[in-house]
Each structure stands twice: as structure tokens, then as C-alpha cells.
């Protein structure tokens, strides 16, 4: 009857295995934090803080490594909205974001509510990888 139910641990292990990553203690802890509740937007710094707060012993370097590995494996998506910081989104599906400039926080916009039309064909030799929409909002 530990704090962490075995199923959640098993699920995390399987998730890592599927991504071709070894289920190490650190990765399991980070997976637990990232995919426990609903979707979330994390920075390396904030995830590291959350891990430490949860009593996990993980170095910042490992958090960076892990975030990048997860992104490469398609478990996370990187969101660039702020020159200062880099966000990682546990929602890898089709969607966009509000960015609250005053707070530096992100809010999801479902992909089926938003539509971008009239994108010209990219220049010769280039193909569209992804279209990102950022709705910058301010306190009014």
C-alpha cells in the first residue's frame, strides 16, 4: 500500500518501454508527474521543482534530457511562445494555445475549434511540418 499504486507504475513502465526508453527510477517519477492528472504545460525548471517537491531525487540535467527524449519519442510536444523559457506540453494532439503574457502560462485551445485557412504553398523544396497558432492574451 505504498503511495504510488502499482498500476500507475506499471502503466508508466509500459509507456516508457513503448517509447524505447528504459524505465529508470527518475523517468518513472517524471512520467508520474507529467501524466498523472490532465494535460499540463511544464518548463524544465518547473518540472524539476515539482519533482523535488514530490520528494524525488532528480537532477536538472536529467530533467532536460528526459524532456527532450520524451519529445523525440512523441510523448511531449515543445511549445515556443516566450523567448525566455521553453514549455513542454503533455497534450500531443492537434491543438493550439492561449498565452497569458502577464503570467507566462498556457491554456489549450482544442484543435477542432480553431482553423487556419489561406496558407500559401511553401517555397520550392520546403514542406509544411506543423502550423502553430498562439493567441496572446493580456489582462484587460
List contacts with DNA (CB under 7 A): 21-27, 43-45, 57-62, 64-66, 68, 83-86
Contact flag: residue 134 with a copy of itself (CB under 8 A): yes
Place of cell 500500500: 1
Torsion of CA 72, 76, 81, 83, to 10 degrees: -50
The minimum distance between CB 4 and DNA, in angstroms, equals 15
Query: Phi then psi for 49, rounded to 5 degrees?
Result: -60, -45
Handedness of CA 83, 89, 93, 96 (dihedral sign): negative
Contact 74, 86 (CB under 8 A): no
Q: How far is the CB of 31 from a copy of itself (least distance, A)?
A: 23
39, 78, 90, 92: residue in contact with a copy of itself (rule CB under 8 A): 78
38 makes contact with a copy of itself (CB under 8 A): no
Nearest distance from residue 106's CB to a copy of itself, in Å?
12
Q: Which does 34 bind (CB under 5 to 8 A by kind): a copy of itself, DNA, none?
A: none
**36 contacts which partner out of DNA, a copy of itself, none, CB within 5 to 8 A by kind?**
none
Q: Which three cell numbers stand for residue 58?
A: 532528480
Q: At which residue does the C-alpha cell 492537434 appear?
A: 94
Amino acid at each position: 500500500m505504498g503511495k504510488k499504486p502499482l498500476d500507475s507504475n506499471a502503466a508508466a513502465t509500459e509507456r516508457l518501454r513503448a517509447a524505447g526508453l528504459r524505465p529508470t527510477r527518475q523517468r518513472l517519477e517524471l512520467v508520474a508527474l507529467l501524466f498523472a492528472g490532465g494535460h499540463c504545460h511544464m518548463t524544465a525548471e518547473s518540472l524539476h521543482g515539482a519533482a523535488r517537491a514530490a520528494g524525488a531525487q532528480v537532477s536538472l540535467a536529467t530533467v532536460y534530457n528526459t524532456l527532450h527524449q520524451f519529445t523525440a519519442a512523441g510523448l511531449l510536444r515543445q511549445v515556443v511562445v516566450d523567448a525566455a523559457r521553453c514549455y513542454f506540453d503533455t497534450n500531443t494532439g492537434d491543438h493550439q494555445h492561449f498565452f497569458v503574457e502577464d503570467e507566462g502560462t498556457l491554456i489549450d485551445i482544442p484543435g477542432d475549434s480553431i482553423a487556419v485557412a489561406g496558407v500559401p504553398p511553401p517555397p520550392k523544396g520546403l514542406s509544411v511540418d506543423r502550423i502553430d497558432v498562439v493567441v496572446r492574451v493580456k489582462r484587460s
